[in-house]
Structure 1
Amino acid sequence: MRHISMVKKLFTSVAVLTAPVMCVGTASATPVSYIDKAEVIAQNAQRGADVVGIDTSSDVNFAVTSNEIVAESENESVKLEKEGNSTQVISQTGDTLILPEEASGNLSVADGTGVVAGKEMTDFAVNHSEEGRTRVTSILSSRAAPERLDFTFSDASSLFIQENGSVTINDKDNQVSGVVDVPWAVDAQGKSVPTHYEVNGNVLTQVIEHNAGDYVYPITADPSWSSVFRWIGRGAKVLAKKIGPGAAILCLTGAGWAWYRSDANGWVRVGDAVIGCIA
């Protein structure tokens, strides 16, 4: 990712230059064609972010180190890795997101972006910001690409869709541990593609309705999520768990600040604010 904070990252471009063809996977070398494809995937992810107005200036560069693909910020780090036939994103606390089964190919780094070569005309790009926000951009290359992509939050007990289309993630203690932003999808000309979430237990499905429309490929689609309480310190989650039903807490989210209140389903987002972090 080309952005203004590249120089100060813990994993600099030097690490990438010393291992330009390293990837995590079974292949012993990365074909030139795959390097080119990885760069295209990263560029398409950037294009989609630009179209919808996502500020990528605080993105943390992914780099290959000790045969791992890692992005590290001041507060936390995330790792992109293979586990059997699955590709997953893991935080330093062990929280794990399993990418859709289409994310089956080699892993690499291009322009500071974690790149996953996929199948069924679908590839993926992973970005992470200093504030703790993670984006997984799905790149659909043709009409043959699927309209449904399943993301599994392996440490969650349940997911809840909110009125604005975003999703709250409940942990094993039935407390909100994260928020998934409202989904978006755009084609190669910036035209919006209808998309929404569906949930089933700890599986989040992004539905991208591209087959019925007249779109220019590739289409980029993005579920972005944040670990709400971790952003404001470990103590915030402890504090939230001690507050009884009906209480409210103001937490940092991907778009700023938002109020949450507790109810029978855990914590529910009830509105936005612009100041403070209070309970």
Structure 2
Amino acid sequence: MEAAGQDDAAPVLPDSETTEIISSSVEEGSVEVSRDGEEAEAVLDGGSDGIELTLGLPTPEYAEDAEVQDDGTAIYMDPEGIVDVGVQTLDDGSVRVLTVINDEIAPGRYDYQIDVEDGVVLELTPEGAVALKGADGSSQGMILPAWAEDAAGNPVETHYEMAGNTVTQIVDHNAPGVVYPVVADPKVYYAWWQLFKWSEWRWSSAYRSNQLSMQLSAWGRHDVIFAAGQFVSSGWNLLKQKHPSWIFTSSMRQQWECHVLGGIAEWGTFDLEINRPSLPNWRKRIGMRPLSATCNW
């Protein structure tokens, strides 16, 4: 079972399986998927820097109990072959639900009942995501904008609606030209550390410098596009929590701002070199140099 293609995050294998629960973990997060096909749900726990939520899954009424594929995907098969549902814990810590629509007679609405801890609220954003926010308005997680694709790789119209804590994905699959199966894959982030797929301190032979290198997750990329002003501070503060304070220089902060605000949102890596000289007026470089050189002075 393959995703519709939101990004290249890969599923991980479960840590353990019982007759009732399939358990997986990535860094500080853990995911427990119930075996029960008729009352399917996943419990997501982001650890000390995250929240806990229960995600009700849109399995058919008589779905079979979940079985784990070789790649780690837990799948609830529909005995009638109309709608199958898979759950993946991904290597960036997020969880992806794969709703596989096999036939034109399948429903066009799929409900996700989301139970969150006290103080966390769900908010449908203008760009079609579902933000998970704390009582103080702080970002605690996100369900990325709805995504669906048919078997030929063509996008299928889809969006979310909300009623209380039920998020419904509308998939307009019964349309001319749609090739089945259609895959719809909501992706859920539930911990602040999941803004980055990874970050590490390493040596760059190209620049002969130590550098902090990182790759944004799909959530991080979403925030760069739609909330760059917030992400400049939130992403930087998260990096400072995860790495020794002595490595952060004024130049590294400038490089970070340049990557985030300067339109250089590479989907590869951000590299912040510790010994690159300070350049407070880096903004003047935007539009005057190739994109690859703007933040490397």
Q: TM-score, normalised by structure 2?
A: 0.60
Matched, 1:113 2:73: yes
Residue 155 (structure 1) aligns with: 116
CA distance in structure 2 between the partners assigned to 1:183 and 1:253 by the alignment: 16
Give 1:119-198 correspondences, 5 Å limit.
121-155=82-116, 158-170=121-133, 176-198=139-161
Counterpart selection for 1:102 from 60, 65, 68: 60
Give the aligned length. Answer: 205
Three-state SS of the structure 2 residue aligned to 1:278 is: helix
Three-state SS of the structure 1 residue aligned to 2:192 is: helix
CA distance in structure 1 between the partners assigned to 2:102 and 2:37 by the alignment: 25
CA-based RMSD of the aligned residues comes to 3.1
Matched, 1:66 2:18: yes
Tell me, which stretches of 5 or more residues in structure 2 are unaligned? 196-215, 239-297
- The answer to whether the 8 A contact 1:225-1:254 is kept is no
Residue identity opposite 2:140 in structure 1: S
Larger Rg over CA atoms: 2
CA distance in structure 2 between the partners assigned to 1:176 and 1:113 by the alignment: 28
Larger proportion of strand: 1
CA distance change for structure 1 residues 187 and 145 in 2, over 3 Å: closer, same or farther? same
Residue identity opposite 1:90 in structure 2: V
Shift of 1:146: 0.6
CA distance change for structure 1 residues 191 and 84 in 2, over 3 Å: closer, same or farther? closer
Residue identity opposite 1:96 in structure 2: T
Residue identity opposite 1:115 in structure 2: I
Shift of 1:212: 2.7
Per-residue CA distance 1:130-188 (angstroms, 9 max, x = gap): 32211001000000111000001111664222122111023577654310111111111
Residue identity opposite 2:73 in structure 1: T
Tell me, which stretches of 5 or more residues in structure 1 are unaligned? 1-41, 233-251, 261-268
- The answer to whether the 8 A contact 2:162-2:168 is kept is yes
Identity of aligned residues (%): 28
Residue 34 (structure 1) aligns with: none
CA distance in structure 2 between the partners assigned to 1:277 and 1:207 by the alignment: 35
CA distance in structure 2 between the partners assigned to 1:213 and 1:271 by the alignment: 38
Counterpart selection for 2:220 from 231, 256, 259: 256
Q: TM-score, normalised by structure 1?
A: 0.63
Per-residue CA distance 1:28-70 (angstroms, 9 max, x = gap): xxxxxxxxxxxxxx2xx24x23xx5x2134x311365233312
Residue 227 (structure 2) aligns with: 270
- The answer to whether the 8 A contact 2:101-2:181 is kept is yes
Matched, 1:207 2:170: yes
